[in-house]
Each structure stands twice: as C-alpha cells, then as structure tokens.
Amino acid sequence: MIPIRDTAPCYSKPIMTWVIMAICTCVFVTMYFMPDALSTRLIYLYGMVPSRYENGWAGSFNLPFDGYLSFMTNLFLHASWLHLLMNLWFLWIFADNVEDRMGHLPFLAFYLLCGIFATFLQWYFDPHLAIPVVGASGAIAGVLGAYFFLYPLERVVVLIPPIVLHVPAIAFLGVWILWQLHNATTAMLFQDTPVDVAWWAHLGGFIAGSLGYRFFLKPWQRQ
C-alpha cells in the first residue's frame, strides 16, 4: 500500500516539518556530491553503529567517542535517494497534522525524542551490528503513532496498483505496525535472515509516539 494523501484538515503551516525535510534533503545532497571516502566516514561518524558502544569498535576505526550523539544525528542521514524520498513522503502526509495539534517547538521535541528512543531500541535489540543505522524513519514512526490516536477515523488515500482506496487511518497504520512487528520478530527468531531495515527502530518510534504524544499537545487539544 502506497499512501497518497490524507483527509485530515490542517489549520496551521507545518513549519517545523518543512525545516526537518529541508535539513534531511540538504544533508543528503551535500554528502551525495562528496568523495565516497569522506561521505562514508561521515556516515560512520554520525550514523548510529551499535557495536561502537559495545566493544571499543570506534577506536579500531579511528573514531572518537561521541557521547551517544549519533542516537540523534543519525535521524538526518539517509542511505539512498529512495530512502530519503520515502521518509520525506511520509513526513509530508502525516506530520503536518501532528504538528498542528502540538505547535512547532513541542513537535520538534516530540520528533527528536521519538527518534532517539527508536534508535535506542534498535541498539538494544541488535547491539553487535557493525554497520550504521541511519534515517528519519524511527522519528517518523513516532509521528505515525501520534497520528494513529489523534486521527484514527480520518481517511488515508492509498494506491494498491492499479486500485486507489480510501481507508481509515487506524486500518492503514495498523497494517503498517503489524508489518514492522512481523519483520522485527522474524529477524530476531531467524538470525540468518538478511536485514537491511531497522525494524526495531520503527517499532520503538511508534511506541514512543503512541505513549508520549499527549504530553506535547497544546493544552486545549488534550483529550
């Protein structure tokens, strides 16, 4: 299912969503035109490599200890154009309404905290991984968690080629989270399964967003 748009009304400009999208795009484009060696080093430096915090891995790669800064900086890095565009698309569709209910600065704090918790959960379940975890999807999963509870009956227009359907957000996001859970548990139970997506980060972000969104709503928006 490919989401095209949602039907929830938005009454303010999602400035912080636009800023996040712009930062992610600028960082990716800048690194895309860097020499490969430099961009790879930056990915390892600012992406979250779980084994970096487990066994002195950073020293062997001549990387300084970063005070766990990569748990946040990885949210603004992306591995490919497709990776970037998919995350920006989900932000474009779902984040504006959540920001509308929270306000600009509370939304930014919510977004970053969801992303940090998402990264933490990925590290917790895969602490020996020696490749960088990058991307905004953990933080975006937090936005989806908030949307799930704030707009459960709003319609999401989805493309299931060649059909276009209007489905309730609770159904679309319910299928999405079940798919993340399936893949995360499969990767855990069958360790030989190839994994190139941070499924636990997606689950962690969604959990954080679902549990924490109420604390960031505008006072008159709280239910």
Q: CA–CA separation, 109 vs 183, rounded Å?
A: 28
pLDDT band of residue 67 (cuts 50, 70, 90) is confident
pLDDT band of residue 193 (cuts 50, 70, 90) is low
Q: What percent of the chain has pLDDT over 90?
A: 76
Tell me if 140 is assigned to some domain: yes
> Tokens 């994994």 label which residue?
195
Is pLDDT above 80 for 57?
no
Give the tens place of pLDDT for each residue, 86-139.
999 999 999 999 999 999 999 999 999 999 999 999 999 988 888 899 999 999
Q: Judge contact between 183 and 121, C-beta under 8 A.
A: no
R_g of the chain computed on alpha carbons? 18
Tell me if 223 is assigned to some domain: no
Q: CA–CA separation, 173 vs 114, rounded Å?
A: 17
Q: CA–CA separation, 181 vs 185, rounded Å?
A: 6
Is pLDDT above 60 for 197?
yes
Tell me if 134 is assigned to some domain: yes
- Please state the φ and ψ torsions of residue 88, each to the nearest 5 degrees: -65, -35
Tell me if 68 is assigned to some domain: yes
Domain that holds residue 113: 2-9+11-218
Q: What is the CATH number of the domain that holds 197?
A: 1.20.1540.10
Is pLDDT above 80 for 181?
yes
- Please state the φ and ψ torsions of residue 91, each to the nearest 5 degrees: -60, -45
pLDDT number for residue 167: 96
Structurally, how many domains does the chain consist of? 1
Tell me if 201 is assigned to some domain: yes
